[in-house]
């Protein structure tokens, strides 16, 4: 199981919660809990169905700036690595 915690200031707004629920509900294998008292979302994945970029895009679409709390599981990091340009 993969776990991730995200802080997003402003998540206490009921409209934001409903919009976030609409975005996350169709994602297979994803469980989440929204802590409105602390503007937190707890994610649990059976397998990495989303990347950090995907999660960030969902929050940004709602006008929220996500901050990832704690260690980010390597399974959620982008698969491509940048390489330095040769001179």
Instruction: For the chain, give every domain's residue range.
Output: 2-72
What tokens does 73 get?
Answer: 């599981």
Query: From CA 69, how far away is CA 25, in angstroms rounded?
Result: 22
Q: Per-residue confidence at 73, pLDDT binned at 50, 70, 90? A: confident
The predicted model scores a pTM of 0.81
Query: Once rounded to an integer, what is the mean pLDDT over residues 78-84?
Result: 66
Write the CATH number of the domain with boundaries 2-72. Answer: 3.30.70.100
Q: Would you say residue 70 has pLDDT above 70?
A: yes
* 82 CB-near residues (< 8 Å, 6+ apart): none
Q: Nearest 10 degrees: CA dihedral of 50, 53, 59, 61?
A: -110
């Amino acid at each position: 199981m993969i776990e991730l915690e995200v802080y997003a200031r402003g998540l206490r707004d009921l409209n934001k919660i409903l919009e976030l629920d609409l975005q996350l509900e169709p994602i297979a294998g994803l469980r989440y809990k929204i802590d409105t008292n602390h503007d937190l979302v707890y994610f649990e994945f059976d397998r990495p169905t989303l990347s950090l970029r995907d999660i960030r895009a969902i929050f940004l679409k709602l006008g929220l700036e996500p901050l990832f709390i704690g260690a980010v599981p390597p399974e959620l990091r982008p698969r491509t690595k940048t390489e330095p340009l040769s001179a």
